[in-house]
Amino acid sequence: MRLAIATALAMAIIAAIGCASTFSNPSGKQNALEESQRRYTELVRWGEIERASAFVDPELQDEYLDIAAAVQNIRFTDFESGIPRFADGNDSASVTVVYHAYSLSTLVEKRIREKQEWYRELGPANEWRVRPNLRQIISEVTGSN
């Protein structure tokens, strides 16, 4: 009898958790953002700036690619992503990322904190786009202004 009650209680808790996550994130926006953010940040970490630009706000892509050459002198050793903070009805969010990187000219590793601003592009693609600050990252790693 106790086993049946414990099993029923466990199933009720699991169902409640499932319902709560459905109400807080009905269309999987958080999962989609986390996946896009992880893929973008990994591409930056490996110096694949051209491929990372696919996640960048179209209005910022040209500038982003213009400064990409400076990233060739930087090596990212690791990164840590924070938890997304949603706003505007879950169609925009910010994620704090801490990169560990060094410039080939100094070989001194630094920790650089970037606040990535993301928004969900409405329309047929319905994708997450980032407004990054690559210039700030390069400046902090290289010590230039």
pLDDT tens profile 30-68: 888 999 999 999 999 998 999 999 999 999 999 999 888
How much is the pTM?
0.74
Question: Could you tell me whether strands 110-120 and 128-131 are parallel, antiparallel, or unpaired per DSSP bridges?
Answer: antiparallel
Comparing C-alpha atoms, which of 79, 75, 80, 94 is closest to residue 138? 75
For the chain, the structural domain boundaries read 28-142
State the average pLDDT over residues 76-84.
93
Place of tokens 């910022």: 60
CATH number of 28-142: 3.10.450.50
CA distance 75 to 66: 18
State the average pLDDT over residues 4-21.
52
